[in-house]
Amino acid sequence: MPLRLLKYGLSRDYPASEDIPATPELKPSYDVVIIGGGGHGLSCAHHLAKYHGITSVAVLEKGYLAGGNTARNTTTIRSNYITPQGIAFYKEGVALFETLSQELDFNVMFSQRGQLTLAHSEATLRSFHSRAEMGKHLGTRTEVVDQKTVEDLVPSLNMDYGGALEILGGLWHADGGTARHDAVAWGYAAQASRRGVEIHQRTEVQGFEIVGDRVEAVKTNRGRIACGQVLIATGGMNYDVALMAGVELPIRCYPLQAMVTQPLKPWLNTLVSSVSLHTYLVQSSRGEVVIGGGSDPYQLYSTRSTLDMKEHLAEGAVHLFPFLQGVRLLRQWAGITDMTPDYSPIMGASPLDNLWLDCGWGTWGFKATPVAGKRMAETIASGRVPDILKPFALERFETFQLLNEMGATAASH
Amino acid sequence: MNRLPAPFGTRIDRTRPLRFSFEGKGFEAYAGDSIASALAASGQWMLSRSFKYHRPRGVFSMNGAEANTLVQLPSEPNVAADRTPVSDGLQVSAQNVNGSLAHDRDAIIDRLGRFLPVGFYYRTFIGPRRDSWLKFWEPMIRRKAGLGVVDTKAAHRHFDKSHLHCDVLVVGAGPAGLNAAIAAAEGGADVVLCDENPEVGGSLTYGRHDPAMLADLTARLEALPNLRIMTGTLCNGWYEDNWLPLIQGDRLYRTRAREVILATGAIGQPAIFRNNDLPGIMLGSAAQRLIRHYGVRPGQKAVVLTGNDEGYAVALDLVEAGVSVMLVVDPRVGGLPGPFEAELHGKGVAIQKAVTIDAAEGRGGHLARVRIGGRWVECDLLTISVGEVPAWQLPCQAGAKVGYDAGIGSMSLMPARGSVQLAGSVAGDNGLEGAVAGARRSASIALQRLGHVVAQDAVLGKAKPSCPAHVQPILANAKGRDFVDFDEDLQVKDLHNAIKDGYREIELVKRFTTVGMGPSQGRHSALATARIVAEATDRTVAEVGITTARPPVGPETLGVLAGHHEPLERRTALHARHLALNAAMKPVGAWWRPYFYGDARGAQKAVRDEIMAVREGVGLLDVSTLGKLELRGPDAGEFLDRLYTMAHANQPVGRVRYCLMLNEMGSVVDDGVAYRMADDRFYVTATTGAVARVYADMLFWNAQWRLKVDVLNLTGAFSGLNVTGPKARSVLEALESNIDFGREAFPYLSGREGVVAGVPVRVMRIGFTGELSFELHCPSSLAPALWDAVMEAGKPHGLTPYGLEASRILRLEKGHILIGQDTDAITTPDELGFGWAVSKRKPFFVGKRSIEMRARLGQSRKLVGLQFPAGAGDIPGESCLALRGNDPVGQITSIGFSPTLGSYIALAYVHVDDATEGSRVTVKCRDGALVEVPVVGHAFFDPTNARQEM
Amino acid sequence: MNGPRNIDEFQSFGPVRETLDPAVTADADWSRHLFRAENRKGVVVEWWRHVPSNYFFLAERDLVSNEIIRTFDASQRSGQS
């Protein structure tokens, strides 16, 4: 038994460690106002406080802490992207996850058991080679594997030899993994608040006071806050919040659904996703099998679930693992994703001098939580966008410098 | 044996005994028994070990709502023993035990509990090394995780799906649901009534009620032809627009109802005190279900805890079932006795008021005694009747809001306005009278909304609660084991500690402690959790709320959701011909296509032979999978002008033109050819993978442009045969035809309609292979006949059918691109060197404005040909990187060995400055080796096109 | 056209977009137009396709509640949308 647990067993009273302080009164002004108390906002707050000495920070969350997409995603962490810019960015993200539990002194359960993406067609296999070549060149562990290796990695897979969906090979990404999504946010919240950052739950932004090219103040349901710098990191609400500041982002919102089975004894060791079936599966450390797929096919701001998507995901899961027929589903849910035209985030400057963007995360936001927070904190603290973020600037849509991630499949967030 | 004589045991058939096993030991049962009832009949009360502490657990609700009764079947984990019928020979075992159910080595964890506080795993298992979690701690925790075991070799089962439509769907066939369904059907609506139980009646089948009431309702039900009764059917979710999944056995009914009445009842709640999870402690309704449904005596010596008159009915039932009722404990103070209480007074049963039970103790994994006001009372059964919550899941999915009624200490539901009504206890309608009134009210509203005339007096208000209800206190114990959530082994202090750690919002409490996340999804814990959090955070229960009710309502198998889904597969009309020729078939998108002909072991030689046959003689390719679209109407030319980059309005009849499609961003999305058959008629091909989208886009654009043109998708209706090679003309001229295939009569890039070998065809002279080619398209039903005729006519010329792989090499030798392989989402025509295919004169086509703009912004890459010297050592594969310095600037998109040229050739994106012929490009091979390759033009073979135009 | 049908029979083609004259639009305005997203909370007018019948029509839909307010043929479309 780890020694840390002794203090619980031997203490008379529960030795509480307050991860999330009760919401304090709002002050009239802060150096930095972070809109959105999800993983990204909290990560940025932590990095501002710990590495840049900026502690006059308010994180505003309209609901409960990390209750948006941080709470709803299926926790995939990977860096096997298509473009060199994307790979470089997410590679740094994976590296930060590798030491995150130590950084936060909070176990985020980063479980780097690898991700296997399946190809049922030559076209998919070709795209895997593309990702593997770029990934290897940039120093990530990404390789195309043959049928035999696929079978060795996941022996219970239906290879469908000779069938229309025969698995021809896979993209094996040994760096891939999952983490406990809530813990990431809570860990950042605990660290940030211990350094003086204020976290305001049930605090909704209702507008901005803009003078010239600057945001003077943020208007909330609990009052007005004057601000030095402002960050928008509100996930599915990014379009909406930015619009209040007069900034129209090229973002469309689509629901993304997922579901989970009852707990089972572990049988699936890696993340498995299928491009053709738009389905992926991962078994959590609780034993539940989390199943997800692509976004809904039309824009919507609702987190309702649909029967059609559930049936579709079940079809894919049962095709890959036919013995799951008898396994029971426990729950389905949805988040709202903010999709950009090139399936890549928008990070950096906005048309306003002191308003910063951490938006357009679509279905890939969770895996970027540490790196986006770190790099946005650097941006806000220095007023300069670091090179690693430059390709993700909002202006790219005006100059046609799109990131060529559009081939990225929705089936492997 | 705990069996009771008839009339107890309405579900069991005593003439049909069965045998089954549990934990390797033989048990007897009757047909109709659930696993749990049959085990209980033989005195086996312990069914499982709990998730975290491995404590003994048994029947609690007898209604399949909690993890307590989950057992393992050989190929099915997590089966609810209290809902699942026994079948003869069934092998049942316990889950989540280390050793056996009776002797679980992990039961030691129960004693170590104080070292494992709520959320302990966040606070530790971090070090000592960076990868300690992955390498050491997580594997240890994973071994302890989960409940049931999946059988990866499980036999395939058949599931299917069906559709249902009705005016009114009534969910729940208890007293309220029955009355509502009857009222709606009598009012003229087409009604479906579903209930998850094997019979209708709900509480009327197990509660202490006059049997005549159910008999009367059943008779009225059966007299209604417009009422369909579906028992054993779980309505497992509500989705937008009254779209509901009804699950009956292995079938999913996707159901559309115009109106829905939810009569889903209420969920009995546990009482919280120390050791409240012992087997032998169950809801009063569970005891009644055991007695009436299964004829099982739920214990020998009972204590009844009740905060309402229902508990007295339970006590009366227990007495009748031969159970010694030691004591009825009623925490209420004052009030008038209800009818059952009055009846019990005559039975000599001790009743103790104004006290409650604050602890229990077990012996051998079963309840042994309970403590009341400091006094211990021996018993092996404790029934709980201390209140219930409305079954909120379906109503909340349908938009109802949850409130809290402090008067009854329970939740109340405020339904959303619209087509979903609530009736009975789910609506707070009290007792049988209330249920009947609620049923009539909801049926009237539904009928009115459907346009039926309803008598005014039928629309009634709600019945008032008869007496103030008892609010059961939450009796936290200093030593814990006072469980709020049985599934997740959570005690009162766990919730308090989470709040102390800052997790004050109900959703955070849930996420930090996992309360409500187990198989029962909060049925027995949501109310208590809300009360505990409210008290600890100084808010009202209504402010705290409960967590979102997400579908499904109860666990459902992935099999029933997936149905008998099969992936879409398409075969061309010539499929059988390919098989007869021993083709190696491969799936390409949805289609099966010949990859090459012959034995797989000789693949390389077969492909090479097929290529050489085309280059030196003549080959035949099945191109039926190509998209085939016919555009008709006076604006057809104008329409193509707007959609494609080349000019088509001025295209002469009988001519064929290449067509290149861009999206609005100016990226290349498809290509094909357009054959003008008449002034107002074009035949256009699209790539196999893109045709569905191209067809939809054509219709979409024309919905906006509103030009006079119709688009017809002939992809399946027409088949295509490509006859290609220097001898192609000779083959066609050998066939009986009214088409002149002569060089002058039928030049390159022209098309003809006619008859070949008795088959009506449209023929185009195009050249994907770079050889003289005729592509013959005909109705699919006639394609096999045309194929046979061409094969026959080709015999003297050595006509060779060739497959997809040879086709790819042939086109690569000619430098033709494949959309999607040699292009990506941002490829422009300029990057392909396709300036020739883009009209400079047309004022508009889709993507024009964007490619002009993109040209001004500058081009960074270009697709070029690369030719490797014959005999070169390191040959890169597809997708290998083109580098400049160490920076990736492009990739190889296609590569293959050209038997014609005797060397490897490739198409690749390279930096625009390296794109001139003769430049040398660095390519990184898969193994990391760097090679330098010279850039050549696209057309490696016959760059002057002499061969295809001959 | 055929009465209420299941959503799985329909395909979304996104909100109706304003039409710009490419000839008189500056590059920056053109790219803004291309990538502009109609994503305001509230009612949008969208193109939808009924797949079995290949009929394209317009629908007013609430992006928050997902309620379809009305559907109509493109010929009934007023000039401003």
The better pLDDT of the pair A3, B892 is held by B892
pLDDT at residue B467 in the model: 54
- Residue C81 in this model has a pLDDT that exceeds 50: no
Mean pLDDT, residues B374-393:
96
Instruction: State whether B399 and B315 are in the same domain.
Output: no
Share of chain B above pLDDT 90, in %: 82
Quick one: A181 and A282 in the same domain?
no
Q: What is the mean predicted confidence (pLDDT) over B879-890? A: 95
**Higher-pLDDT residue of B146, B180:** B180
Give whole-number Cα distances, C72 to B698, C60, C77, in Å: 20, 9, 8
- The pLDDT score that the predictor gives to residue C80 is 41
Query: CA-to-CA distance for B585 and B571, rounded, in angstroms?
Result: 10
Q: List the beta strands (DSSP E) in B765-870.
A: 773-779, 800-801, 861-867
Average pLDDT value for residue range B931-949: 89
> Sorting pLDDT into bands at 50, 70 and 90, what band is B140?
confident
Closest residue to A6, CB basis, from B115, B157, B557 = B115
CA distance B4 to B41: 9
Which of A339, A355, A388 terminates a domain? The answer is: A339
Share of chain B above pLDDT 70, in %: 99
Domain boundary among B532, B551, B570: B551
- Asked whether residue C2 is domain-assigned, the answer is no
Average pLDDT over every residue of B250-278: 97
Q: Which amino acid is it at B789?
A: A
B747 and B815 share one domain: no
Distance in angstroms (rounded) separating the CA atoms of residues B330 and B301: 18
pLDDT per position as a tens digit, B356-370: 999 999 999 999 999
| pLDDT score for A410 | 36
Tell me how far the alpha carbon of residue B622 is from its chain's centroid.
37
Residue A409 has what pLDDT? Answer: 41
> For residue A412, what pLDDT is reported?
45
Whether the per-residue pLDDT at B380 is higher than 50: the answer is yes
Task: Give the pLDDT band (50/70/90) at residue C78.
Answer: low
Number of Cβ within a 10 Å radius of residue B679: 11
Is the per-residue pLDDT at B687 higher than 70? yes
Q: pLDDT for C26-75, tens place per residue?
A: 998 999 899 999 999 999 999 999 999 999 999 999 999 999 999 999 88
Tell whether A262 and A405 lie within a shared domain.
no
Residues in chain B: 950
N- to C-terminal Cα separation, chain C: 22
Q: In 3-state terms, chain C is what percent helix, strand and coil (to 5)?
A: 20, 35, 45
The total number of structural domains in chain B stands at 6
The mean pLDDT value of chain A amounts to 94
Alpha helices for chain C (secondary structure H): 27-35
DSSP state of A372: H
Confidence (pLDDT) at B460: 53
In a domain, C81, yes or no: no
CA distance B785 to chain C (A): 31
- Our CA-based measurement puts residue B726 at a distance from the nearest CA of chain A, in whole angstroms, of 31
CB contact under 8 Å between C11 and B696, yes or no, is: yes
pLDDT at position A116: 98
Question: Average per-residue pLDDT in chain B?
Answer: 94
**How close B275 comes to chain A (CA, Å)?**
20
- Of A307, A324, A339, the position where a domain reaches its end is A339
Range of the domain at B284: 270-386
Contact yes or no for B556/B76 (Cβ under 8 A): no
Q: What is the pLDDT of residues A320-341, one digit of tens each?
A: 999 999 999 999 999 999 999 9
Instruction: Give the pLDDT mean for B386-392.
Output: 94
Query: Within 13 Å of residue A193, how many CA atoms lie on the same side as its CB?
Result: 24
Question: What is the pLDDT averaged over residues B331-350?
Answer: 89
* Interchain CB contact of B138 with A (< 8 Å): yes
Instruction: Report the pLDDT value the prediction gives residue B458, as an integer from 0 to 100.
Output: 52
**How do B243-248 and B357-363 pair as beta strands?**
unpaired
How are beta strands B351-353 and B401-405 bridged, if at all? unpaired
Least confident of A161-165, B663-667, B868-872: B868-872
Residues 853-892 of B with CB under 8 A from A: 853-854, 857, 877-881, 887-888, 891
Residue C43 included in any domain: yes
- pLDDT, position B326: 97
Domain that holds residue C62: 7-76
Edge-to-edge, what's the strand order for the sheet holding B375-378? B357-363, B366-372, B375-378
Does residue C28 fall inside a structural domain?
yes
Return the residue of A nearest to C28 by Cα: A398
The confidence score (pLDDT) of residue A1 equals 53
* DSSP line for A231-249: EE--GGGHHHHHHHTT---
Please report, for the domain that includes residue C37, its CATH number. 3.30.2270.10
Rounded to the nearest 10 degrees, the angle between the axes of helix C27-35 and helix B848-857 is 120
Residues B249 and B315 in one domain: no
pLDDT at B376: 98
Average pLDDT over every residue of B333-360: 91
A97 and A195 co-located in one domain: yes
**Are A193 and A84 found together in one domain?**
yes
B706 φψ region: left (φ > 0), alpha (ψ -120 to 50), beta (else): left
Contact state of A302 with C37 under an 8 Å Cβ cutoff: no
The verdict on a CB contact (< 8 Å) between B700 and C56 is yes
SS (H, E, C) A11-58: CCCCCCCCCCCCCCCCCCEEEEEEECCCHHHHHHHHHHHHHHCCCCEE
**pTM listed for this prediction:** 0.95
**Chain B residues with CB-CB distance to C74 below 8 A:** 703-704, 706
Number of H helices, E strands in chain B: 25, 49
What confidence tens digit (pLDDT) does each residue in B422-460 have? 999 999 998 899 999 999 999 999 999 999 988 765 555
State the DSSP H helix or E strand holding residue A336, giving kind and residue range, or none if neither: strand A328-339
Task: Give the pLDDT score at B146.
Answer: 76
In a domain, residue B467? The reply is: no
Residue B690: give its domain's CATH number. 3.30.1360.120
Q: What is the pLDDT of residue B117?
A: 82
Clarify whether residues B902 and B825 are in a common domain. yes
Q: Is residue C24 part of a domain?
A: yes
In this structure, the answer to whether residues A187 and A246 fall within a common structural domain is yes
Given C6, C22, C47, which is nearest B700 (Cβ)? C47
Length of chain A: 413
Distance between CA atoms of residues A325 and B154, nearest Å? 9
- Give the DSSP H/E element, type plus range, for residue B489: none
Predicted complex ipTM: 0.95
Residue B114: the pLDDT is: 75
What's the CA gap between B365 and B813, in Å, rounded? 78
Q: Is B20 within the bounds of a domain?
A: yes
Q: Do B843 and C23 lie within an 8 Å CB cutoff? A: yes
Owning domain of residue A269: 112-174+253-339
Are B849 and C13 inside 8 Å of each other by CB? no
pLDDT in tens, chain A (413 residues): 566 677 776 677 788 888 999 999 999 999 999 999 999 999 999 999 999 999 999 999 999 999 999 999 999 999 999 999 999 999 999 999 999 999 999 999 999 999 999 999 999 999 999 999 999 999 999 999 999 999 999 999 999 999 999 999 999 999 999 999 999 999 999 999 999 999 999 999 999 999 999 999 999 999 999 999 999 999 999 999 999 999 999 999 999 999 999 989 999 999 999 989 999 999 998 899 999 999 999 999 999 999 999 999 999 999 999 999 999 999 999 999 999 999 999 999 999 999 999 999 999 999 999 999 999 999 999 999 999 999 999 999 998 888 888 764 433 45
pLDDT at B24 over 80: yes
Q: Look up the CATH number of the domain holding residue A271.
A: 3.30.9.10
What is the domain count for chain C? 1
Averaged over B501-505, what is the pLDDT?
A: 95
